[in-house]
Structure 1
Amino acid sequence: MKKKLLIYILVPLLLLVFTGAAFTGCSTLTDSADSVGGAFVNKLVARDYSGAFDYVYVLTADVGTRDEFVARFTNIYDALEVSDVKLVSRSVEPVSDNEYELKYTLALTSRLLGVLTYDYSADIVAGPQGYTVLYTPSLILPMLEEGDRVRSTTQEGARGEIFSADGAVLAKNDYADSVYIDLEKGPDIEEVKAFLTANFSVDAETIQKKYDNAVEKGYPLEVLLSYPKGTITDEQKEAVAGINGLGFDDSRFSPVRYYPLKDDAAHIIGYLGSPSDEQLAANEDLTEYSTVGKSGLEMQYEEVLRGSDGRIIYIEDEKGSLKQVLFEDEKTDGQNIELSIDSKTQERAYTLMASNLVDGQSGAVIVMDYSTGAVEAMVSYPSFDNNLFNFPLDEATWNYYNGDEDHPLINRAIQSAYMPGSSFKPFSSLPAIEGGLLDADSVPPITKKPPHSEGNEESGSHSWTPDIEGWHSGAIYSKTVAESPYNYEMAMKSSDNIFFAYYALQAGVDPFESYMEKIGIGEAPQFELPVTASSMLSQSEDEVDWLDWLARTGYGTGELVITPLQLACMYTAIENGGTMVNPHIVNRTFTIEGEDETETTVEETSVSAFKEGTMSQKAIDIIKPALKRVMVDGTGYEARLGDRDVLGKTGTAQVGANNSREVNWIIALNQEDGKLYMVVVETDTDEGTKPKTSILRGLADESAYSRMLSGVSSSGEEE
């Protein structure tokens, strides 16, 4: 018998009215101790705690009323997720004339802990109105004592972070720049509002509401303003410090996802936001207050990056010390991601795009290891600062991102399918080469009409009209044509449309179309981010003029469209014996654990093929010298890479109403560093050649990039 219970027996029950102790008075003297004990336990088994209260006498600090009694049982059992209570045994034994001991065993079925079998004991004593069970916290759980509390705490699993191949953090768990108010310093809210409205252009009413909320709830601190990290200037910080009660914080109060490269890598990394209704329905762990990936790798790798929260349920004594852990489900941090991106190359690529393009111009850059498919840089321009999406966007910013004709949220490297123009000629010539119709020395038996000649309707261009049955489309034009000898290398050097249209027509519609399917046209390569599939046709096959389609596809126009990433993937075949490697941007996923931050790789990306056997060695041996010539003294000469071991190709396609816009391409395979460099820009007609070659030169030649930053061209002249 516990000593504290003996005290209750010695206290004359008639004094209860003076002590304020609760006596429920449900039982009578005619009720036996056994019946009272049985009724009390039956109520517990039925989880009728209000009914059980009718049989107890309460004299404790933590429970004094029926509502408190019910709440204590309910809250603890709900925390343990008790779904069922069964009686195992029960007995009532006399201790003295008016005192009995109730012993019972209950089996609690908990979703968290399984079946818990506990032995309980309680004193039953006689009072003026009958027998009662003396309440103690141990009637809820045997290990509970007076003053103990059962606590349930969520342990939040951290979101995994994203790193570049060179170790730079690209997506980081951090804190926003925040201005807070310290109410314990007695700030003058009118002074605070006047200062913040004048210096931060915020609404005074919003500040007042946050202040009033903090006062009402007794918060010592309240964050009034939050901005992307690095937004608040040193001058603003000093000004904040000069106002009583205001402070600046960037390390404690406002958790946020921080993207150090901002615009430079926004399309790759993406951003976070509130879950959609579909996401909430699909994942019971999400709430409307959760944040999830909304674009880029943040969205595609949501399940990998997202940690799972844990929970600990424990008993805390009256001093706040941990007494006993009842349940612990450890949190799991999300996995980290290491990309193939080189942060310095990524920044360089974006800088080159931003410094060479003006309003109304757009495009994409890709730098890739052509042997492995590892993407070292991928830029889409114009871009956006993904840090802004951590906060409510003002109307002007939202309208710009969603309504601007330049569409800054689109990842042009993988979502925009462009007409490739002459950059497609190494591939459009494959059906004729592999069919034995075209080799390095082949000369097409045709006569071209020079510019301004009789019958040439387009001034400034050479023309040729196919003399084949079923041709109804008039002349084919080419601004430049091959010099003598009129062979493959010279045609590639000058990007002669007529030459490549001729050999596409020689190959024939069915063999040509079959070969396009063989090299992946109509599909998209495997990639960690969604890639728009390429396409040969935009209309019903019944509506196609197949000969016209064939000739135009031969020089990369017509209805053919392809994303920059897929065309880059296709070019890898030239250096890989005909195998197009799938591009990848994720090197591995990994965890970091322990005080020593041990890294453990979970999954690693391996090299894989998009298409194999796309070109024979014979074809490669024809194509490579021609692409080298392009860079030495052909259409790629302006990139100034001809003195290096570089293969390349340019391309131009007119698009838009009245051909007012132009898509300009340049691709280089640098055999010195094993990298593929690609630039595509969309501009008004005749405005894209200089930007694309300047960007490529800066990408492939570090010294040229340094000169560009200082305003000096690669030839030593002022830009």
Structure 2
Amino acid sequence: MTGIANPGEIIYNRYMLKRIIAFLIVMVMTLSLFGCGSGGQKISFDVVVNYFNRVSAMDFSSAHECFWQYGSTPPLDDYTASYEYAVKTLGITSISFSEPEYTKLSDTQYDVSAELTYTSSLAGEVTLPFEAFVVLDDDGIYIAYNDNIILPDYQNGDIISYITLTSRRGEIFTSDHVPIATNSYGDTVYLDVPATADASDSISRLASLLELDGDEAVSIKKSFEEAESKNYGRVVVKAYARNSIDEELESRILEINGASIDRSSLTPQRYYPYPGVYSHITGYVGSQTEEDVKKSEELGRSVTAQIGKSGIELSKNDVLMGTDGYEVRLYSSDGQFKSTIFSKSAQNGSDVVLTVDSSAQNLAFYLLAENASSEQTAVAIVMDTNSGAVEAMANYPSYDTNAFNYPISQEDLEAMPLFPNSTQGLYPPGSLLKPFTAMPALEDGLADMDTLFPYENEIVDNQWTPSTEAWPWEPITRDEKPKGEMNMTNAIKSSDNIYFGWLALQMGADRFCSFMESIGIGGQMPFDLPVAKSNLINDTTTMDRKLLTDMSFGQGEILLSPIQLASMYSAFSNGGNMIQPRIIDGVFTDSDGAYTATTQSEPGSFKTEITSQEIIDKLLPALREVVATGTAAAIKSDGLTLAAKTGTALKGSDKTKESSWVIAWYDGMDKNKLVLVLVDGPRTEGTYKLSVAKALLKAGAVDTPVITDAPASSDTTPSPSSKI
């Protein structure tokens, strides 16, 4: 029938129409998902992935294609210039993004969030939030630009400023909390720009007074002119170490129009309040070498900060040195501050507290300074034999560590007595070794304390030539005959070389050397400061009986540092255990107002059970006799029970120099104190070692108050001593 539709066809056509409409809807939606760099691939949100990849590759021109052409999207040149400026200014070396997350806001808009990480040579690794909208329009999917997409609140033309937040170097304190290495400021001569009426005249007069050369004067004049044009308040003329400008010079400086002196802000420096007294303990700081700079860069530390060059400043540099922080600030094109984009707080260095007692150290140093001649070096050590705490370690002569805040000529440097004799000096111990020669002989039963020397009738003019075997060498010599019988007790008391030479021949070289090695001779003792490796016998030397006898009384090729000898003698107070000396009590950090120890040292042993308590008990009476009636009788003091040993080792081919020693300690007292004094120099001029030791032993017996508060501020440090 014409004009009448078949019902089946109508149903079919409606079905096909619905299919076609559904297909078209899918096509439209699929086309709407095409975006920048999708390459025609039908992948949702490829625009974000492509943007991340292109920015990570620092292909900013290509990344710009991913932005929606409407809204606040900057022109291509502005966008690339802004990103390249940020990369250059911050030293950005790589850019990365985390996996993005999407939140649907509407059918045409999604929120995308991720983490944007910049790796910067200035700031290290910095992670910022990446937040943006993804827009779906008829052309595809795009990222809507915003001012936070490169850096927070960052617009084209803005100025990025990187500011270093300087960390504070930790300070060094004595056990009684006296600051001995602090952060302070130097004496700085400057011109007050607004107050200077005639700059040329003032600069000329200062140049003459302060001995500035022509180039320095010209440079100051240029700095002054620049300061005037930029409205700066002050121009530095010359900086000195703290307290270097005396009253007379200060008065003459202040007479010059516009000239003044700053002591609190212009020239930061490391300050040592007691020049000379602690110099060989604290050491000093100096500028970084190329190698130091490389290490600082690896650790994220300041490459311009001073670092430790010797002493505790060097050995504990890693904990004393802080880590600088930074702020990255954003300014508008007209210089107005907008915001701090990101920052990292400075981490100040930790303080180091020593075991050194300020009273003991000052006394030890000044006793040496008052007695030592210009031809001598001297060392005084006070140590607690129970804990190993070094309470004083004085070296003389000494030097002013403050001098290293400024350039030093090679001539002046070479004239400075920088060498730390107490730890790095190696000396023949002389008769100090004799009790240790006795130990293996007593252990092996070769002799006892009352064993007599069997060849006394062969001694002529205090010289003995061994007769049991051929002896092609010079005789063994002693200073004088012991009073009483020639047994071990009297040989120790009178320091008889002949007796101990004979004793060494009885035990033989192998036994003698193996025992000396067992107590650390020939090795290096650990300590908080570098200690020189001791010497028993040179590698190229062939042992013979003459050398063995010389070694038995501390000569030959035996060399020891004073601090190692102090450890050896601590065995007499510790049942045969040699205490491990320590000069650092702990490392302390001020965190949120609480001053707490991050590390703290504990007593320990350098060598254990070098001999038995039985052998110690045999030797101690003889060492007490050294004080009672022997070579150390001059140190006797009322109220003190002491044991001691003296020693003298002649040096040089003409024997005109000597190392003169005394070691003494409290014996059977409540306190545990040992004093060592060494005087090295011309022969027979070191007898004052006994008066120095006596004064230190008497002072050590006096109780001093224990201070438990945090160390005093370095702002209250006392005036420096005038004697070095």
TM band (smaller chain): 0.7 to 0.9
Distance 2:252 2:623 in 1: 61
Give the C-alpha shift of residue 176 in structure 1: 1.1
| Correspondence 1:118-133 to 2 at 5 A | 118-119=131-132
Specify the alignment match of 2:95 in structure 1. Answer: 83
Distance 2:77 2:191 in 1: 41
User: Which is further off, 657-666 or 276-285?
Assistant: 276-285
Distance 1:639 1:107 in 2: 74
Q: Structure 1 vs Structure 2: percent identity of aligned residues? A: 32
| TM-score (structure 2 length as normaliser) | 0.78
Kindly indicate whether residue 170 of structure 2 is the aligned counterpart of residue 171 of structure 1.
Answer: no
Match of 2:218 among 208, 215, 221: 208
| Correspondence 1:261-340 to 2 at 5 A | 261-283=274-296, 284=298, 285=300, 289-315=304-330, 323=339, 326-340=341-355
Distance 1:110 1:579 in 2: 57
Gap change, CA 1:319 and 1:553, over 3 Å in 2: same
| TM-score (structure 1 length as normaliser) | 0.79
2:301·2:324 contact (CA, 8 Å) conserved in 1? no
Specify the alignment match of 1:385 in structure 2. Answer: 400
Gap change, CA 1:142 and 1:105, over 3 Å in 2: farther
1:631·1:641 contact (CA, 8 Å) conserved in 2? no
Kindly indicate whether residue 172 of structure 2 is the aligned counterpart of residue 162 of structure 1.
Answer: yes
Kindly indicate whether residue 571 of structure 2 is the aligned counterpart of residue 559 of structure 1.
Answer: no
Give the C-alpha shift of residue 356 in structure 1: 0.5
Gap change, CA 1:631 and 1:248, over 3 Å in 2: same
Match of 2:626 among 630, 638, 659: 630
Specify the alignment match of 2:424 in structure 1. Answer: 415
Match of 2:85 among 74, 83, 89: 74
Specify the alignment match of 2:271 in structure 1. Answer: 258
Q: Which runs of 5+ in 2 are unaligned?
A: 1-33, 40-46, 103-108, 120-124, 138-142, 703-724
Give the C-alpha shift of residue 698 in structure 1: 2.6
Give the C-alpha shift of residue 48 in structure 1: 5.4
One-letter identity of the residue aligned with 1:249 = D
Specify the alignment match of 2:547 in structure 1. Answer: 549
Give the C-alpha shift of residue 387 in structure 1: 0.8
| 1:37-92 Cα distance to aligned partner (Å, 9 max, x none) | 999999994545679999999xx9xx9996897156532786477614799899xx
1:356·1:694 contact (CA, 8 Å) conserved in 2? no
Distance 1:75 1:212 in 2: 33
Kindly indicate whether residue 523 of structure 2 is the aligned counterpart of residue 510 of structure 1.
Answer: no
Distance 1:391 1:409 in 2: 17
Distance 1:527 1:286 in 2: 27
User: Which is further off, 392-401 or 654-663?
Assistant: 392-401
Distance 1:161 1:661 in 2: 40
Kindly indicate whether residue 493 of structure 2 is the aligned counterpart of residue 483 of structure 1.
Answer: no
Kindly indicate whether residue 419 of structure 2 is the aligned counterpart of residue 400 of structure 1.
Answer: no
RMSD of aligned Cα (Å): 4.0
Gap change, CA 1:680 and 1:472, over 3 Å in 2: same
| Correspondence 1:79-228 to 2 at 5 A | 79=90, 83-84=95-96, 108-111=116-119, 112-114=125-127, 116-119=129-132, 137=147, 140-141=150-151, 143-144=153-154, 150-216=160-226, 218=230, 219-228=232-241
One-letter identity of the residue aligned with 2:543 = V
| 1:170-196 Cα distance to aligned partner (Å, 9 max, x none) | 111111111122223335344334433
Distance 2:115 2:353 in 1: 49
Give the C-alpha shift of residue 159 in structure 1: 1.2
Gap change, CA 1:313 and 1:142, over 3 Å in 2: closer
One-letter identity of the residue aligned with 1:692 = K
- Tell me the matched-pair count: 636
Distance 1:616 1:138 in 2: 76
Match of 1:236 among 249, 270, 278: 249
Give the C-alpha shift of residue 349 in structure 1: 1.0
1:271·1:296 contact (CA, 8 Å) conserved in 2? yes
Distance 2:218 2:494 in 1: 70
Gap change, CA 1:499 and 1:104, over 3 Å in 2: closer
Gap change, CA 1:192 and 1:53, over 3 Å in 2: farther
1:520·1:611 contact (CA, 8 Å) conserved in 2? yes
One-letter identity of the residue aligned with 1:501 = G
Give the C-alpha shift of residue 639 in structure 1: 3.3
Higher relative contact order (CA 8 A, sep 6+): 2
Give the C-alpha shift of residue 320 in structure 1: 5.7
Gap change, CA 1:523 and 1:141, over 3 Å in 2: closer
Gap change, CA 1:393 and 1:105, over 3 Å in 2: same
Distance 1:472 1:566 in 2: 34
Specify the alignment match of 2:390 in structure 1. Answer: 375
2:379·2:395 contact (CA, 8 Å) conserved in 1? yes
User: Which is further off, 80-89 or 483-492?
Assistant: 80-89
One-letter identity of the residue aligned with 1:548 = K
Distance 2:133 2:247 in 1: 64
Gap change, CA 1:491 and 1:273, over 3 Å in 2: same
1:274·1:288 contact (CA, 8 Å) conserved in 2? no
Match of 1:438 among 439, 443, 447: 447
2:623·2:645 contact (CA, 8 Å) conserved in 1? yes
SS at 2:628 equivalent: helix
User: Which is further off, 139-148 or 379-388?
Assistant: 139-148
Specify the alignment match of 1:245 in structure 2. Answer: 258
Gap change, CA 1:615 and 1:107, over 3 Å in 2: closer
Give the C-alpha shift of residue 586 in structure 1: 0.3
SS at 1:192 equivalent: helix
Kindly indicate whether residue 663 of structure 2 is the aligned counterpart of residue 650 of structure 1.
Answer: no
Match of 1:425 among 430, 434, 439: 434
Match of 2:375 among 360, 363, 376: 360
1:121·1:139 contact (CA, 8 Å) conserved in 2? no
SS at 1:154 equivalent: strand
Give the C-alpha shift of residue 539 in structure 1: 4.4
Give the C-alpha shift of residue 604 in structure 1: 0.8
Q: Which runs of 5+ in 1 are unaligned?
A: 1-33, 91-100, 125-132, 402-407, 451-455, 706-719
One-letter identity of the residue aligned with 1:380 = N
Specify the alignment match of 2:140 in structure 1. Answer: none
SS at 2:169 equivalent: coil
2:82·2:156 contact (CA, 8 Å) conserved in 1? no
2:443·2:615 contact (CA, 8 Å) conserved in 1? yes
SS at 2:278 equivalent: helix
One-letter identity of the residue aligned with 1:362 = T
